[in-house]
Chains A and B, each alone.
Chain A
Amino acid sequence: MNPSEQDLSYSREIRSNAEDVALIRRMCDADETALGALYDRWMRSLYSLVFHLLKDADEAEDVVEETFWQAWQKASSYEPSRGAVSTWLLTIGRRRALDRLRAKGRRREESLTGEAGGLAAIAAPGADPSAAVEASERRTHVLAALRELPDEQREVLDLGYFQGLSQTEIADATGQPLGTVKTRMRLAMQKLREPLSMYRESAQ
């Protein structure tokens, strides 16, 4: 992707977030139609994420509804300086989904046994990003960076992000020292940050 394509992609995302922020402001003014519009824009992404975490359509629908209701109630707490609206929404939804997993004591073992799911499946060489995700250039870069991660770093991210395990639990699950888990997690995050840094710098 050349720089001009990069700028275009980034400007599209900025414009999209500006529209989201405008909706949040209307929600702060108790405009429920803005809630509906925000739902239309992000329901699919949010549902996809929480379904991926919960593997249960009914529970995923509940979490989607809870998330948007929380967004309505807490709209005034959203701070644009702390990230995009989509980041805020997905963070709320993921936390709610993980709370459900934790409450039920569910711990999926697929990643540890290499069966399926999580980042391993997403980053598999055969996975077609244009078919698997809404192809944003930004996501494509993150996906590429994900594929470049060593398996042990991707596993730590997977257990932390998709399984909701704490660092201590990851250490127990993988048999690695806690310090090793922390290092792998930090390195993995730093590598994934690079594509985002590139976009951020291009906007400055």
Chain B
Amino acid sequence: MNNLTHEEAFEELAAVALDAVSADVAQAVREHAAACPECGPALFAMEETVAQLGQLVPQRAMNAGHGAGIRSRLIMRARTERESHSAVVPGPPDLSRGVASLTGLGHKLTPGTQRAVDAEVKKVLPRQPSRPSYFSGARLLAMAASIAFVLTALQLARVTADRNAMRAERISRVDTIPKRDTVTPRASEKEALVAAMAGPDVKMVPLATKTATPMGHMFWNRASNDWTMVVYTMPPPKPGMTYQVWLVTDKAKISAGTFQPDSSGHAFMQANYALPRNALKAVAVTEEPAGGMPAPTGPIVVSGSAAP
């Protein structure tokens, strides 16, 4: 339907705004409205009105764990896509980048490994198809290269873990919670990762700065005692310093380990620690001397209340 008269187009404006006409009619009306000083503003106003109708519905909260999971998936997908687009020519490994670790041992992963970890997490949390170019040959090659990086990095991580275990003994007096030996999601951990971040027993604690800027989330699966923290846009800690996570209860501030965000400010951490269901009052991240401290001494960088 082309060449609508003004009267014909004007009569259909409301229906177009409501999507209550065929695509052909809608297109014809929009073409007319684009050039019509009366129909254009009228259609614009009606579409605004329609949007207002959408905000009149009773507000309903999404399951907190699901909402946080969707958020994490979206960011990871976007990040993966951004990196895949920017990684046209592979450069030298950026050893300053890394995935945070609850081991406090400072395991570092290369950019390729980081992308692969993201890809793994995305597989764990599968969702929608991406852009048409998503499965392009270049991307598949990049994925293959990333997998190769993973294998290499895992070997390096094992060696590094042994070396750092000795170093960790120096801070054994620190009351830290038991930690996993690696942050790289292994095949056997994939389903556990999903369970840790979603489900009826998962309590989500939003983390934010003092100015209420959202910085991430802590997910506490109170059935399995799994703790999963995702933070983003964290500034790098000062030289010689690290970030330390604290689980705050009425009786204690329990160290949940230290971490270093990657160069993008992102960090992903996991641990397992039993805490009574109602004991957690807050989660806080402070800046502490490298290696961590037995009790918080530095300023709170981000925090979140566990209050219901």
Chain A residues with CB below 8 A from B131, complex form: 73
Given A32-B79, A72-B78, A196-B52: 13 more A-B contacts, CB < 8 Å: A33-B75, A36-B232, A39-B70, A45-B55, A57-B62, A62-B128, A65-B127, A86-B55, A98-B19, A133-B56, A161-B18, A186-B11, A196-B45
Asked if B186 lies at the interface with its beta carbon under 8 angstroms from chain A, I say: no
Asked if B73 lies at the interface with its beta carbon under 8 angstroms from chain A, I say: yes
**Contact flags (1/0) for B22-61 with A, using CB distance below 8 Å?**
1000000000000000000000111111111111111111
CB pair B48 A48 closer than 8 Å: no
Asked if A108 lies at the interface with its beta carbon under 8 angstroms from chain B, I say: no
CB pair A43 B22 closer than 8 Å: no
Contact of B62 among A64, A82, A196 (CB under 8 A): A64
A181 → chain B closest CB, angstroms: 9
**Contact flags (1/0) for A69-84 with B, using CB distance below 8 Å?**
1001100000000111
Chain B residues with CB below 8 A from A49, complex form: 54-55, 57
Name the interface residues of B106-156: CB closer than 8 Å to any CB of A: 127-128, 130-131
Chain A residues with CB below 8 A from B232, complex form: 33, 36
CB pair B74 A69 closer than 8 Å: yes
CB contacts between A and B, total, < 8 Å:
184
Residue of A nearest to B51 (CB): A87
Bound: A39/B73 CA distance, A: 12
Q: List 26 A-B contacts (CB under 8 A).
A: A30-B86, A33-B75, A33-B232, A36-B74, A40-B71, A44-B60, A52-B57, A52-B58, A61-B66, A65-B73, A68-B74, A82-B47, A83-B51, A87-B48, A90-B51, A90-B54, A94-B54, A136-B55, A146-B53, A160-B19, A165-B20, A167-B21, A170-B20, A182-B15, A185-B15, A196-B45
Bound: A160/B53 CA distance, A: 12
Chain A residues with CB below 8 A from B57, complex form: 48-49, 52, 122, 133
Number of B interface residues at 8 Å Cβ cutoff, please give it.
52
Q: Tell me whether A167 and B74 are in contact in the complex, defined as CB-CB below 8 angstroms, given that A69-B128, A189-B49 are known contacts.
A: no
Asked if B17 lies at the interface with its beta carbon under 8 angstroms from chain A, I say: yes
Chain A residues with CB below 8 A from B73, complex form: 65
Asked if A138 lies at the interface with its beta carbon under 8 angstroms from chain B, I say: yes
CB pair A82 B44 closer than 8 Å: yes
Number of A interface residues at 8 Å Cβ cutoff, please give it.
68
Shortest Cβ-Cβ A-B pairs, 3 listed:
A32-B78, A87-B51, A189-B14
A6 → chain B closest CB, angstroms: 16
CB pair A65 B52 closer than 8 Å: no
Chain A residues with CB below 8 A from B127, complex form: 65, 69
Name the interface residues of A137-172: CB closer than 8 Å to any CB of B: 138-139, 142-143, 146, 157, 160-161, 164-167, 170
Q: Tell me whether A36 and B62 are in contact in the complex, defined as CB-CB below 8 angstroms, given that A142-B49, A166-B20 are known contacts.
A: no
Chain B residues with CB below 8 A from A66, complex form: 128
Bound: A110/B55 CA distance, A: 20
Chain B residues with CB below 8 A from A39, complex form: 70-71, 74
Bound: A161/B19 CA distance, A: 8
